[in-house]
Amino acid sequence: MVFQFAVLGSGSRGNSSLVAEAGGQGLLIDAGLGPRAMDQRLRSVDGDLSRVSSVLLSHTHGDHLDSGMLQAMLRRGIALYCHEGHRDELDHDQGFQDMDRVGLVRHFDDRPFLAPGGFRIEPIPLKHGGPTFGFRVESVPRRRARAISLGYLTDTGCWSDSMADVLTDVDILGVEFNHDVAMQRASGRSHALIARNLGDHGHLSNRQGADLLRSVLRRSGRDRVRHVVLLHLSQQCNRPELAIHEAREAVAESGRRILIHAARQSPAHPNLHVDTSKKAASATAPAAPRHLGRRGPAGGAQALLPGFFQDNP
């Protein structure tokens, strides 16, 4: 069984990730890209909207759900899984109203549920703006192959031990590494915006993301957490090498060998495939520059960066 996780876009200009099994139906975590961009990004990772059965919504901000995508989902019969608390923001959108009318809107709460394609979803309540959720996504175990799991947590200003518990023993861990605190403070943004981003309802800094990573690794078995994906990097207040440095330090302390990937706004990156039936894992991603792709100390963390920093969110 091959489990695919591909970040189609990550950043303030649109967020969406594909979760799929080879040859089966997949789902999107968020749909913050327009229909044309979504189609292009999916095709770039050998995907297609015709194979997407549902969209799992983390929260209602415009960079996580594009109004045009609601119309595209309606035309294709793609279900939207959202929290009941999201309705206040979505009810004014005609596409959402039309989807609701034909039964394509489904609701989740804080309990695990099954989504089309055989995925088990466990929502993780976060602190951001309005109801916001991270997710643990697991495939259904097959004969001679264990379930494969993904942890996905972004758009939160803080984390807790209970969040780390839910993310324990995943194969792929996606965690927000939004900003460098010093760059955030020196950004020239308004004091209110800086305070919000640094506050408990804002975004995780590189240091906070690394601390969450440490907590998850301490809880996890040595054969789990094969890939770490750094999500939602700020274009103005972060640099991929800063985020990767913090993540690499956390991995090195654990003594593990883990591939670290910095997701970006465009194009899709990374595109990961995990195959537990062969007890192997592979990553399909642009080649990293030699000096940035070296193995780190002790922990053996390998950083995979896209070739051009300016393309990162």
The pLDDT of residue 203 is above 60: yes
What does the pLDDT read at residue 303? 55
Topology, domain 2-311 = Metallo-beta-lactamase; Chain A (3.60.15)
214 in Cβ contact with 171 (< 8 Å): no
Strand partners, 44: none
What does the pLDDT read at residue 2? 85
CA neighbor of 313 nearest in space, from 32, 27, 26, 48: 32
CA neighbor of 213 nearest in space, from 262, 179, 263, 163: 163
Question: And the tokens for 52?
Answer: 């997407």
Say what the alpha-carbon torsion angle 99, 100, 104, 108 is, to the nearest 10 degrees: 130
116 pLDDT band (50/70/90 cuts)?
confident
CA neighbor of 263 nearest in space, from 224, 227, 301, 290: 227
What does the pLDDT read at residue 307? 31
- Average pLDDT rounded to a whole number, residues 189-213: 94
The pLDDT of residue 301 is above 80: no
Helix (H) or strand (E) segment spanning residue 122? strand 119-126
